[in-house]
Amino acid sequence: MTKKAKILTGKRIGVFGKGGSGKSTAVVLLAKTLNDHGYPICVLDADSTNVGLHQALGLDESPVSLMNYFGGTVFGGGTVTCPVDDPTPLAGAEISLSGLPDRYYARSQRGLVFLTAGKIGDQGPGAGCDGPISKIARDLRIVAEGNHPVTLVDFKAGFEDSARGVITTLDWAIVIVDPTSASLQMAVNMKDLVDQIKAGVLPATSHLDSPALVAVANRIFQEATIKGVSFVLSRIEDETMEAYLREKLAEKGIRPIGTIHHNHSISLCWLKGLPLDVTEIREDLEGIVAELEAAEKRVLLNHEMVSGITRKSLLRYQEMGDIQ
């Protein structure tokens, strides 16, 4: 930890949720709020079917996809494979923005960096599955001079990417829970999946013929960096609705870290392709960011050693203000 390094600097945070839960809205609002807190931000669009994220971030155009940069999907004759069929790490996935041609990323007026893994909507019949996009999302690392950015990954709606192992390389997962029974079930599934990975449960590999690939798949799960999963309520219209969701989640041992209340102006922005404004729900987002920072601090304090710093020393540095 460098002096004045903020607690979430360099972390990779994946955002998940069922279709229509408000997942992409949460990504944009968290990106802008974290940026307001002084974090450099990189947003990776890893949703192969959704569109419009660049507009919500305040960008006129989306950059050329990283799928093109990496040579295309294996289904189209390229090199990027599905992590289920081929768990081998993607070559060259650690990227410095200073060395990446500018057509592959965009930068908003706020300084947020935006990249897209790829889309399958324009690939036509027989394009194959979107597993290769999951591999890019799993393996991509954006490095920069000075403090590395917080990378927020907007994953495809549903549970599919999680089952492909993308969460193994994240620091934190966030599940967006809207007021539907499907969202409640997804929250439980994600909690169970993260608990299993942290407990050392290995992935299914009976479909892999090569012992070498089995070893790679197992190693990826054994070396998983995921620290935990958080849950955020979304599209909440009233206290009764929020209370019911919290009660049902509590029955499964889940405590949401915050709520994003329903806001008509945000829905209108998505309809018109306008940048999302965090102003009206600033308090919601501030609370969520504070909870994320607190969770990271708890992880650090629960380890006897953190990059050579003892727990006692870390506490002393916090008191001195050297770690924010």
pLDDT of residue 129: 80
pTM over 0.85: yes
In angstroms, rounded to a whole number, what is the distance separating the alpha carbons of residues 184 and 176?
A: 10
Question: Is 118 part of any domain?
Answer: yes
Assign 186 a pLDDT band (cuts: 50, 70, 90).
Answer: very high
Question: Is 291 part of any domain?
Answer: no
Residues 81/139, Cβ–Cβ less than 8 Å: no
Total domain count, the chain? 1
Assign residue 74 the CATH number of its domain.
3.40.50.300
Question: Is 150 part of any domain?
Answer: yes
Question: Is 244 part of any domain?
Answer: yes
Question: Is 305 part of any domain?
Answer: no
Question: Is 221 part of any domain?
Answer: yes
Question: Is 222 part of any domain?
Answer: yes
pLDDT at 308 > cutoff 80: no
Question: Is 285 part of any domain?
Answer: no
List Cα–Cα distances, 195 to 124, 189, 201, 224, 320, in angstroms. Answer: 38, 10, 9, 12, 35
271-293: average pLDDT: 96
Give the domain extent around 28.
12-277
pLDDT at 85 > cutoff 90: yes
